[in-house]
Structure 1
């Protein structure tokens, strides 16, 4: 029968204020085979959004974050927690020590959202599945509430979505998809447009739903952009999302929105929204970027990245070398006043970052830095003047978030590369797809008591596995270039498990 109320089943008609649906009887509904009843929804929220002109001051606990303390092998303290016997953790000062309470963020459940792009009629979306196993995954569309089951394998590692999963304007919608897998995988989202007159792409590493959180700082770099974007997706009903918006480093407006499960909300602005704070009453997925953007040269390309929760930042970073990109913008975000020591190849600089702000530097060669508080780092490779590669945005995990092995996926139709950062004494010994990996000498830097190196190498599309014979931990990034095109994302990372 046609009723007003919770969204259970297939929607027939939706407006901004009422929903008419087909509903099966019963109070406690669960997933079933078919498209009328795939998810259990609760009642629509009754809270009203707050005024867009008021700006309540966030409570102090938004900005504070206690370090997790353990003892390094040297006897010094390591902030990442635990008291383990492993020798794979690196302390804030670069001393090797314990590695506790971190876990690989491969997962079995993911929410994917795709921000608006310049040409929505051309825009297509897909996910790439990084695993060497075979299995089944379930694809649940937010808009149609339709659930399908699909096989995946190292040869069947991509899945495509229809246009209903992508945002096309600001506001609240049901645009997105949930993917649930029979075993843990690494997952990457890719948006692309490929036609005779236009070509663009961008991708991000997806964060599993069990690692979604309630506090985020928005990263982006607005150079020559039409619109900066923020997209939020709710995983649970009655999720209140608070947006403390910043515009060009200044406080701008406060907004809040109440979302039902699987509702998505997009906000855009012509100004740089870096430093915007987003908090929520329930875990949410957050994606930031631009409708289109370019930096220094090349063509326009959409930017998008799934934002790391602020409880998953690090303090020590090595910026990877990016193949074919002689220069890139590095932006460091902080939640509170923070001092940063940046080691270049030939000099050291001391920098300060104000509360909920960021620091930029133009990066051409390898650099290492450590911060007095946890920070988030993004890299924005500049576009190429011959249009053989466009700019994009990519997350840089900290050295405490490196893994000792990765299973990852690389898209087709690009000239693809990987970048690796590792301790200089472990440059040799990498195993790629079961074979010793040969690479040219990397760039080196001295950071604290340790030496680090970074190198790049080309790689073909498909699913790959990489590890090291000495089981050392290393950073890994995947990216690619094409005519008026480019994309990039980290292959994986470790997350803290004791964030309370």
Structure 2
């Protein structure tokens, strides 16, 4: 291990005299745009997904969902505000007529959510038996600078990658730039949504703006083929893009259950100075440099655990692959400095009449310092009385990983507020021989330099 890596890691959390702000992915105000992720059948006929919003809270609370009026031709339609009450969690489902279908900009394809108490918001798309789980970040988590994670589309009709940008402020100027020829600028109004679509992998595109914005990345696989030789690169993928945190230097990427044959890790850097070490439980250490707008890709077995350290803040994204090489989900991996000590979780199991409930499973994959593992609590009940019996050590040895069955809703916490990482992983059988997986990290916090240009409160 190189000395500069250890010096960098020791510096985390020991900063004095700096104006550092910390924001959690649990908040009171949220805004996001609909992703255009239709299903195309063998004949190219389109059907749109169903979107369910899952709101969780530590206690029962009321919240509001504001939608643009669907019967208004105005560029700034009236918002329709509806009150809901969450008894710790609440599901709200929208039909396909609300799904974004535009090619460029629009002002009807967003949702605003507000609450008097902190809540967590998960957007779940259900697309022809595929499930996409997409954690939504609160407004105060948003930034004006992003690096976009993405993936390769398929070489078939209708397959595309897309970036979705939602503006919060008036006269929001955005700039998209990449090394493969993308350079464009756009000015957006409050609540306006801009979509950029392409047939190329958009990984590494940088987005900068003069005001905070929300950014989403998604991939649509396109039409299916009758040919048995068609190899799928991707299913439906979508995630909200988080900003790169100030101390995002140390990442642990957990091994995944057996149906995930392999996974890719993509590493993104905001500058050309990132020196990165990748440690693996199944391979030798890899040392590399990562450059701005040029992602670095690492492939490994699904049973491998990685530990990644860097000298400057980076972003790490995990893409799970099936036995045929199809991408099943894409998830941002929080750095160890971004772990929380308390998560409020809920996931809706997909319900199809032909699928036995026993074939749909959900689990937690917990990453925690190994000497602290016995303090894990599920709904205030201890779950690991002898962690050593089920521990899976990380490559550098300071952390352990545990796979634990999940119920429909849990508060996952620690007895002495020890931070840990939590991946919510789901699997469901679609046919007698085919299953798919979906997953997301349950929450994170981000540390950044404090600024005076905070996001405005949501109105409506």
Task: Give the structure-1-normalised TM-score.
Answer: 0.74
* 1:271 equivalenced with 2:203 (yes/no): no
In structure 2, the CA distance between the partners of 1:451 and 1:255, relative to structure 1 (3 Å rule), is same
Partner in structure 1 of residue 143 of structure 2: 213
- Following superposition, the deviation at residue 417 of structure 1 comes to 1.7
Q: Secondary structure at the match of 1:210?
A: helix
Higher-Rg structure is: 1
Take 2:48 and 2:330, find their aligned partners in 1: how far apart are those partners?
21
Q: Say which of 106, 116, 134 aligns to 1:204.
A: 134
In structure 2, the CA distance between the partners of 1:76 and 1:379, relative to structure 1 (3 Å rule), is closer
Deviations 1:184-214 (A, max 9, x none): 0111111113xxxx32121211110112111
Take 1:237 and 1:487, find their aligned partners in 2: how far apart are those partners?
36
Partner in structure 1 of residue 99 of structure 2: 166
| Structure 2: tracts of 5 or more residues without a match | 1-5, 40-45, 71-78, 225-229, 351-359, 452-460
Q: Secondary structure at the match of 1:363?
A: strand
Partner in structure 1 of residue 376 of structure 2: 430
In the TM superposition, what are the counterparts of 1:275-286 in structure 2 within 5 Å? 275-286=204-215
Task: Give the structure-2-normalised TM-score.
Answer: 0.80
| Structure 1: tracts of 5 or more residues without a match | 1-71, 85-99
In structure 2, the CA distance between the partners of 1:333 and 1:341, relative to structure 1 (3 Å rule), is same
In the TM superposition, what are the counterparts of 1:62-211 in structure 2 within 5 Å? 78-80=11-13, 82-83=15-16, 101-119=21-39, 121-144=47-70, 145-154=79-88, 156-174=89-107, 175-193=109-127, 198-211=128-141
- Following superposition, the deviation at residue 433 of structure 1 comes to 1.4
In structure 2, the CA distance between the partners of 1:373 and 1:222, relative to structure 1 (3 Å rule), is same
In the TM superposition, what are the counterparts of 1:203-352 in structure 2 within 5 Å? 203-222=133-152, 224=154, 226-244=159-177, 246=178, 250-292=179-221, 301-311=235-245, 314-324=248-258, 325-337=260-272, 338-345=274-281, 347-352=284-289
Q: Secondary structure at the match of 1:357?
A: coil
Partner in structure 2 of residue 369 of structure 1: 308
- Following superposition, the deviation at residue 164 of structure 1 comes to 4.8
Deviations 1:358-400 (A, max 9, x none): 1111123111111121110100010245x9x961101100000
Larger relative contact order (C-alpha < 8 A, sep ≥ 6)? 2
* 1:406 equivalenced with 2:336 (yes/no): no
8 Å Cα contact 1:340-1:371 kept in structure 2: yes
| Structure 1 segments of 4+ aligned residues over 4 angstroms from their partners | 74-77, 79-84, 296-300
In the TM superposition, what are the counterparts of 1:54-69 in structure 2 within 5 Å? none
Q: Secondary structure at the match of 2:62?
A: strand
Partner in structure 2 of residue 475 of structure 1: 421
**Count of aligned residue pairs for this structure pair:** 399
Root-mean-square deviation over aligned CA pairs = 2.8
8 Å Cα contact 1:142-1:178 kept in structure 2: no
- Following superposition, the deviation at residue 252 of structure 1 comes to 0.8
